[in-house]
Amino acid sequence: MNLHLNGKTALVTGAGRGIGLAVVQALAAEGVRVVAAARTAAPEWKAAGAIPVTVDLSDPAGAERLVTEAVAELGGIDILVNNIGGGDGDLSGGFLDVTDAQWAQVTDLNFFATVRVTRAALPALLAARGAIVNVSSIGARVPHGGPVPYTTAKAALTAFGKALAEEFGSQGVRVNTVSPGPVRTAMWESPTGYGAGLAAAMGVPHADLLAGLPAAMGMLIGRLVEPEEVATLVTYLASPLAAATTGTDHLIDGGSVKTA
Protein backbone atom coordinates (compact mmCIF):
# COMPACT_ATOMS: atom_id res chain seq x y z
CA MET A 1 0.00 0.00 0.00
CA ASN A 2 1.30 3.44 -0.93
CA LEU A 3 1.02 5.63 2.18
CA HIS A 4 1.85 8.81 0.20
CA LEU A 5 4.72 9.66 2.53
CA ASN A 6 7.52 9.87 -0.01
CA GLY A 7 9.43 13.13 0.46
CA LYS A 8 7.91 13.90 3.86
CA THR A 9 10.08 14.69 6.88
CA ALA A 10 9.96 13.19 10.37
CA LEU A 11 11.53 13.49 13.80
CA VAL A 12 11.50 10.31 15.92
CA THR A 13 12.55 10.34 19.58
CA GLY A 14 13.60 7.28 21.55
CA ALA A 15 14.87 5.94 18.23
CA GLY A 16 17.85 3.94 19.42
CA ARG A 17 16.17 0.56 19.74
CA GLY A 18 12.88 -1.31 19.96
CA ILE A 19 9.77 0.53 18.79
CA GLY A 20 11.57 3.78 18.01
CA LEU A 21 14.15 2.09 15.80
CA ALA A 22 11.41 0.14 14.02
CA VAL A 23 9.53 3.40 13.39
CA VAL A 24 12.64 5.00 11.88
CA GLN A 25 13.05 2.02 9.56
CA ALA A 26 9.36 1.92 8.60
CA LEU A 27 9.18 5.63 7.80
CA ALA A 28 12.44 5.53 5.85
CA ALA A 29 11.11 2.60 3.82
CA GLU A 30 8.19 4.84 2.78
CA GLY A 31 10.58 7.50 1.49
CA VAL A 32 10.46 9.76 4.55
CA ARG A 33 13.55 11.77 5.48
CA VAL A 34 14.02 10.97 9.15
CA VAL A 35 15.94 12.56 12.00
CA ALA A 36 16.50 9.80 14.55
CA ALA A 37 17.12 10.96 18.11
CA ALA A 38 18.40 9.05 21.12
CA ARG A 39 21.11 9.31 23.74
CA THR A 40 23.22 6.84 21.74
CA ALA A 41 23.19 6.46 17.97
CA ALA A 42 22.09 3.08 16.61
CA PRO A 43 24.18 1.46 13.87
CA GLU A 44 20.94 0.64 12.02
CA TRP A 45 20.26 4.35 11.43
CA LYS A 46 22.90 4.54 8.71
CA ALA A 47 21.37 1.66 6.75
CA ALA A 48 17.97 3.38 6.94
CA GLY A 49 19.45 6.65 5.72
CA ALA A 50 18.36 8.43 8.91
CA ILE A 51 20.02 11.62 10.12
CA PRO A 52 21.43 10.98 13.60
CA VAL A 53 21.07 13.38 16.52
CA THR A 54 22.36 12.24 19.89
CA VAL A 55 20.59 14.05 22.69
CA ASP A 56 19.61 13.51 26.31
CA LEU A 57 15.99 14.60 26.56
CA SER A 58 16.08 14.41 30.34
CA ASP A 59 17.99 17.69 29.98
CA PRO A 60 15.34 20.43 29.53
CA ALA A 61 17.57 22.17 26.98
CA GLY A 62 17.80 19.00 24.90
CA ALA A 63 14.37 19.34 23.29
CA GLU A 64 15.03 22.80 21.86
CA ARG A 65 18.44 21.74 20.55
CA LEU A 66 17.00 18.60 18.97
CA VAL A 67 14.20 20.40 17.16
CA THR A 68 16.52 23.18 16.00
CA GLU A 69 18.88 20.60 14.49
CA ALA A 70 16.01 18.63 12.95
CA VAL A 71 14.51 21.69 11.26
CA ALA A 72 17.93 22.73 10.00
CA GLU A 73 18.60 19.27 8.55
CA LEU A 74 15.13 18.63 7.14
CA GLY A 75 13.92 22.10 6.27
CA GLY A 76 10.79 21.52 8.36
CA ILE A 77 8.94 18.75 10.17
CA ASP A 78 5.88 17.00 8.77
CA ILE A 79 5.76 14.19 11.34
CA LEU A 80 6.74 13.98 15.00
CA VAL A 81 6.83 10.57 16.66
CA ASN A 82 7.25 10.88 20.42
CA ASN A 83 8.52 7.45 21.41
CA ILE A 84 10.86 8.40 24.24
CA GLY A 85 10.12 6.50 27.44
CA GLY A 86 11.26 3.82 29.83
CA GLY A 87 13.12 4.30 33.07
CA ASP A 88 11.22 1.46 34.70
CA GLY A 89 14.06 -1.01 35.14
CA ASP A 90 14.34 -0.75 38.93
CA LEU A 91 10.65 -0.29 39.73
CA SER A 92 9.53 -3.87 40.27
CA GLY A 93 8.37 -3.13 43.82
CA GLY A 94 5.11 -1.54 44.91
CA PHE A 95 3.95 2.02 45.45
CA LEU A 96 5.55 2.34 48.88
CA ASP A 97 8.94 1.36 47.45
CA VAL A 98 9.10 4.27 45.00
CA THR A 99 10.96 7.41 46.06
CA ASP A 100 10.24 10.99 45.04
CA ALA A 101 13.40 10.95 42.93
CA GLN A 102 12.16 7.87 41.03
CA TRP A 103 8.75 9.45 40.48
CA ALA A 104 10.41 12.57 39.09
CA GLN A 105 12.79 10.63 36.83
CA VAL A 106 10.10 8.36 35.35
CA THR A 107 7.57 11.16 34.89
CA ASP A 108 10.14 13.41 33.26
CA LEU A 109 11.23 10.74 30.80
CA ASN A 110 7.79 9.38 29.94
CA PHE A 111 5.81 12.62 29.96
CA PHE A 112 7.66 15.91 30.27
CA ALA A 113 10.28 15.05 27.64
CA THR A 114 7.45 14.64 25.13
CA VAL A 115 5.83 17.87 26.31
CA ARG A 116 9.07 19.77 25.73
CA VAL A 117 9.81 18.25 22.30
CA THR A 118 6.24 18.82 21.14
CA ARG A 119 6.26 22.43 22.31
CA ALA A 120 9.51 23.06 20.44
CA ALA A 121 8.30 21.29 17.27
CA LEU A 122 4.78 22.72 17.04
CA PRO A 123 5.68 25.85 15.03
CA ALA A 124 7.19 23.63 12.31
CA LEU A 125 4.29 21.17 12.50
CA LEU A 126 1.74 23.99 12.23
CA ALA A 127 3.53 25.35 9.18
CA ALA A 128 3.44 21.88 7.59
CA ARG A 129 -0.08 21.00 8.82
CA GLY A 130 1.64 17.91 10.11
CA ALA A 131 0.98 14.91 12.32
CA ILE A 132 2.04 13.85 15.79
CA VAL A 133 1.99 10.25 17.00
CA ASN A 134 2.68 9.63 20.68
CA VAL A 135 3.65 6.16 21.87
CA SER A 136 1.93 5.49 25.20
CA SER A 137 1.04 2.12 26.76
CA ILE A 138 -1.94 -0.01 27.71
CA GLY A 139 -0.74 0.78 31.24
CA ALA A 140 -2.60 4.07 30.82
CA ARG A 141 -5.83 2.03 30.75
CA VAL A 142 -4.82 -0.82 33.06
CA PRO A 143 -2.49 0.91 35.51
CA HIS A 144 -1.95 -2.23 37.59
CA GLY A 145 -0.10 -3.69 34.58
CA GLY A 146 3.21 -1.99 35.32
CA PRO A 147 5.10 0.21 37.78
CA VAL A 148 2.86 2.91 39.26
CA PRO A 149 5.00 5.90 38.17
CA TYR A 150 5.35 4.51 34.64
CA THR A 151 1.65 3.80 34.07
CA THR A 152 0.66 7.10 35.67
CA ALA A 153 3.00 9.01 33.35
CA LYS A 154 1.65 7.11 30.36
CA ALA A 155 -1.92 8.01 31.38
CA ALA A 156 -0.86 11.65 31.40
CA LEU A 157 0.70 11.18 27.95
CA THR A 158 -2.50 9.72 26.53
CA ALA A 159 -4.54 12.62 27.93
CA PHE A 160 -1.95 15.06 26.56
CA GLY A 161 -2.44 13.71 23.05
CA LYS A 162 -6.20 14.17 23.21
CA ALA A 163 -5.83 17.73 24.51
CA LEU A 164 -3.38 18.63 21.74
CA ALA A 165 -5.68 17.17 19.09
CA GLU A 166 -8.52 19.34 20.36
CA GLU A 167 -6.47 22.53 20.48
CA PHE A 168 -4.59 22.22 17.20
CA GLY A 169 -6.91 20.15 15.01
CA SER A 170 -8.57 23.22 13.50
CA GLN A 171 -5.08 24.44 12.56
CA GLY A 172 -4.33 21.30 10.58
CA VAL A 173 -2.22 19.30 13.02
CA ARG A 174 -3.42 15.77 13.74
CA VAL A 175 -2.46 14.09 17.02
CA ASN A 176 -2.94 10.39 17.73
CA THR A 177 -1.71 7.94 20.33
CA VAL A 178 -0.58 4.34 19.98
CA SER A 179 -0.78 2.21 23.12
CA PRO A 180 1.10 -1.09 22.87
CA GLY A 181 0.74 -4.02 25.19
CA PRO A 182 3.82 -6.09 26.01
CA VAL A 183 6.26 -5.65 23.13
CA ARG A 184 9.38 -7.72 22.53
CA THR A 185 11.76 -4.97 23.61
CA ALA A 186 14.46 -4.41 26.20
CA MET A 187 11.83 -3.43 28.78
CA TRP A 188 10.86 -7.09 29.01
CA GLU A 189 13.87 -8.94 27.58
CA SER A 190 16.90 -7.10 28.96
CA PRO A 191 18.57 -8.75 31.97
CA THR A 192 18.55 -5.33 33.62
CA GLY A 193 15.05 -4.28 32.51
CA TYR A 194 11.67 -4.25 34.17
CA GLY A 195 10.90 -7.82 33.15
CA ALA A 196 14.02 -9.17 34.78
CA GLY A 197 13.33 -7.19 37.94
CA LEU A 198 9.76 -8.42 38.05
CA ALA A 199 10.91 -12.02 37.60
CA ALA A 200 13.37 -11.63 40.46
CA ALA A 201 10.69 -10.11 42.70
CA MET A 202 8.38 -13.02 41.88
CA GLY A 203 11.12 -15.59 42.42
CA VAL A 204 10.83 -17.09 38.94
CA PRO A 205 13.40 -17.42 36.15
CA HIS A 206 13.31 -14.51 33.71
CA ALA A 207 12.77 -16.88 30.77
CA ASP A 208 9.76 -18.44 32.48
CA LEU A 209 8.19 -15.04 33.11
CA LEU A 210 8.56 -14.11 29.44
CA ALA A 211 7.13 -17.44 28.29
CA GLY A 212 4.07 -17.02 30.48
CA LEU A 213 3.58 -13.30 29.94
CA PRO A 214 1.16 -13.44 26.97
CA ALA A 215 -1.20 -15.74 28.84
CA ALA A 216 -0.85 -13.80 32.09
CA MET A 217 -1.71 -10.56 30.27
CA GLY A 218 -4.69 -12.12 28.49
CA MET A 219 -3.15 -11.73 25.04
CA LEU A 220 -5.13 -13.68 22.47
CA ILE A 221 -2.26 -14.01 19.99
CA GLY A 222 -0.12 -16.16 22.31
CA ARG A 223 3.02 -14.04 21.90
CA LEU A 224 4.45 -10.60 22.54
CA VAL A 225 3.81 -7.80 20.06
CA GLU A 226 6.70 -7.16 17.66
CA PRO A 227 8.21 -3.64 17.42
CA GLU A 228 7.66 -3.70 13.66
CA GLU A 229 3.93 -4.21 14.17
CA VAL A 230 3.74 -1.09 16.32
CA ALA A 231 5.83 0.81 13.76
CA THR A 232 3.39 -0.12 10.99
CA LEU A 233 0.50 1.38 12.93
CA VAL A 234 2.49 4.52 13.76
CA THR A 235 3.44 4.97 10.11
CA TYR A 236 -0.15 4.64 8.94
CA LEU A 237 -1.38 7.19 11.50
CA ALA A 238 1.32 9.61 10.37
CA SER A 239 0.28 9.25 6.74
CA PRO A 240 -2.25 11.16 4.64
CA LEU A 241 -4.32 7.97 4.47
CA ALA A 242 -5.28 8.68 8.10
CA ALA A 243 -6.27 12.28 7.36
CA ALA A 244 -9.62 11.92 9.17
CA THR A 245 -8.10 10.27 12.23
CA THR A 246 -7.16 12.51 15.14
CA GLY A 247 -7.59 12.54 18.91
CA THR A 248 -7.61 8.74 19.01
CA ASP A 249 -5.83 6.16 21.16
CA HIS A 250 -5.10 2.93 19.28
CA LEU A 251 -4.44 -0.26 21.23
CA ILE A 252 -2.02 -2.80 19.78
CA ASP A 253 -1.98 -5.35 22.56
CA GLY A 254 -2.98 -8.74 21.17
CA GLY A 255 -6.38 -8.42 22.78
CA SER A 256 -5.04 -7.87 26.29
CA VAL A 257 -7.39 -5.02 27.20
CA LYS A 258 -10.90 -6.44 27.42
CA THR A 259 -12.92 -3.24 27.74
CA ALA A 260 -14.21 -1.19 24.80
The residues annotated as belonging to the active site are 150
Torsion angle of the four alpha carbons 244, 168, 154, 195, in this order, in degrees rounded to the nearest 10:
60
